Amino acid sequence: MYNVIKIGEADVPMLAMASVDLYYRNIFHEDAIKLQASNELDEGDLINFVMRMGFVMAKFAELKDRKEMNKLNEDCFLDWLDQFDRTDYLNALANIRLTYEGQAVTTSDAKKNNEELTGN
């Protein structure tokens, strides 16, 4: 699933493929599948998971050479995260999660709103 997520003023491409869970494990040393299957994630853990998965999906969309994914670590995540305002990133978490879960997300106006503005 490919989506562009609006985080503050930035449009951030994100790509969720089957391998993002494995890249997540390589970067953060946690098994994303086991984390979700445990059903023991409290709200804070879930926010942390989605924040980190957003980074993995963004880098997966950005890096054309998949070998570069193996060079990423938690410090890279923190550097990447620092480019965003905290509130903007937290506001984008729902759309990041929907992308990870394979659901379509749009950042454009609804067709109805466009028709109202143009009169067409």
What is the SS3 assignment for 20?
A: helix
Q: Look up residue 31 and give its two tokens.
A: 């098994």
Residues of the domain holding 49: 2-118
Whole-structure pTM value: 0.83
Following DSSP, what letter does each residue of 32-99 receive, concatenated? HHHHHHTT---HHHHHHHHHHHHHHHHHHHH-SSGGGGGG--HHHHHHHHTTS-HHHHHHHHHHHHHH
Q: How many domains does the chain have?
A: 1
Residue given tokens 């998971």 in the structure block: 49
Give which of 53, 59, 58 is closest to 71, Cα–Cα.
Answer: 59
pLDDT of 77 reads: 98
User: Which residues does the chain have with pLDDT short of 50?
Assistant: 108-118
Give which of 74, 22, 69 is closest to 48, Cα–Cα.
Answer: 74
